[in-house]
Amino acid sequence: MPPRNIIKVYSQDGYYHIYNRGVGKRRIFKEKSDYLTFLSFLKEALSEPVDPDLLKETFTLQGCSFQGVPHQPKNFHNKLYLLAFCLMPNHFHLLVRQINPTIITEFMRSLATRYSMYFNKRYNRVGSLFQNIFKAIQILDDNYLLHLSRYIHLNPQKNYKDLTRAYSSYADYLHLRNTEWVKTDIILNYFENKVAPEFKKFNSYKKFVEGYKTPPEDILGKLLLDE
């Protein structure tokens, strides 16, 4: 029987919890520069692409000079939206919304390939970096969507007393940072416009994340990473 959440059914305009971890639960982020490199790949993939004319360089081949655009990584701007993320030493969580039913596979293949090549070169290693293919599950309920964002942002609490210092999108949700390629508005609208009855008592996202008494694991169940 295949591991849970490896076989995936994707839908247009769907919300998904995506996660992966290092092979054998080994670290995939060893130093600060590793986290920053992974984040830079996310930024390049999700930001509006640069005008190709601005990327042109002059190349010389067999004595002849010509201009061209160097190979660029795949871009997913307006094809996939990143709502929340968290990077941990041996795994990561992403909460995304995809616009068409095939884009997640392309996005994750590109991201994993780029980061694996970087990591293997940096640490002089060969072989797979990640355990199997990434796992994903669709989020079909608004309450689950909100609690999943809470789970992702609480993930680093054993490593950080101040969660805003973690390698996550939590600081963006508290308006302490503005990362253009992280789309916080979808979830924050539930609190700022008080459209979710269950959460009306929380007048801020911070109070919801840090003040909700029931652990998110007890609410989300099978929507979480299987250990």
What average pLDDT score do residues 165-183 get?
97
The torsion region of residue 183 among left (phi > 0), alpha (psi -120 to 50) and beta comes to: beta
Rounded to whole angstroms, the Cα distance separating 22 from 90 reads 5
Q: Give the per-residue pLDDT at 1.
A: 41
pLDDT > 90 in the chain, percent: 61
Looking at the predicted structure, is the pLDDT value of residue 223 above 90? no
Q: What is the pTM of this model?
A: 0.88
CB proximity list for 37: less than 8 A, separation 6 or greater: 115, 118
The mean pLDDT of the chain is: 87
Chain segment 1-53, per-residue pLDDT in tens: 445 555 566 788 999 999 999 999 999 999 999 999 999 999 999 999 875 55
Residue 46: in which H helix or E strand, if any?
Answer: helix 32-46
Domains and CATH numbers, the chain: 14-220 (3.30.70.1290)
